Amino acid sequence: MDKKQLPGTNIMLSPITYGAFAIGGWFWGGADEGDAIKAIEAAIENGVTTIDTAPVYGMGHSEIVVGNTIKGKRDKVQLLTKFGMIWDAEKGDFAFESKDNQDKPVKIYKFNGKQSVIDECERSLKRLQTDYIDLFQMHWPESTTPIEETMEALEILKTQGKILAAGVCNCPVDLLERANAVLPIATNQVAYSMVNRGIEKDLVPFCLKNGIGILPHTSLQKGLLTGKIKPGHVFNHGDHRPNTPYFKEHNHKEVMKMLDAVKHIADERDISLAQLALNWTMRQPAVTSVLVGARNASQMLENVKAASFILTDEEINNINNALLQIDLIL
């Protein structure tokens, strides 16, 4: 599996990153920890050596599972985690109300204060059972802390060797420009998929000009682009997807029509629609590595296959033409 360089570093990332969002057991209707461990092990054994997590995924649980699983394999993986979504203090911008894995109510806040970032890093290092993080990312911008202050914290952590590179997530161009003026930003992790292409207008050109990589998340549009979730699907308790725009009835049907239009490409290559969507995403400008979740080893192995081929320019054009026909109401 050909690797890509994390901009501004000597770190090489796998073209697919294991996204450890769901294995926190929170927000997606629960997860089996044993299956999650096997999924991570399958990823590493098959060349997907980059793992992305965050403290808020299960209130620390995702990081703990990752840390336990990579014990003895730290030199084989690249650890990406985040900071700035807290549940133990009411600081910064209120984000949303949720429940922890014990079904207890929690309030999540976005907060990127300098000392808080440094403290969060220490806690993440302990949960991940490592002495350094390859890429430490600001999870969300917030209004109470100047981004320059947040970057100063990352500069301190980088000087101390506790992080090797600084990144941001969900960051618009104006804030990304300010952050990059303080400390070189390696990546911006943002939502991007075949049906969610808003970043192409301004963010992608800025990243290309400034040598910043894009780490797309939600590239399968929360499972919608697999083609397996049909209209009328009944989701598990606690699963947030039915309330998201792309799963509303009209949009769901529009995406299904698009998938029907490109299915022949997948059939001719003997690949799945998910593998087609992931490979399309890998081919897009400025993309360094595509985040994909997997609840078990079988799902992970399916994702690995997405990096085993290269779509031709003709196939990309055919897919893009099909995407132009979608009429989404967002």
> Looking at the annotation, which residues are catalytic?
57
90: DSSP letter: -
76: DSSP letter: G
Report the Cα 173 to chain-centroid distance in Å: 18
Strands 185-191 and 213-217: parallel
What ranges make up the beta strands (E) of the chain?
4-5, 12-13, 16-19, 50-52, 78-83, 85-86, 93-99, 105-110, 133-138, 163-169, 185-191, 213-217, 290-292
Rounded to 5 degrees, φ, ψ at 212 are -105, 130
246: DSSP letter: G
Q: Token pair of 311, please? A: 């779509």
- Give whole-number Cα distances, 89 to 84, 93, 240, in Å: 11, 11, 24
Rounded distance between C-alpha atoms, residue 232 and residue 217, angstroms: 25
Report the Cα 83 to chain-centroid distance in Å: 14
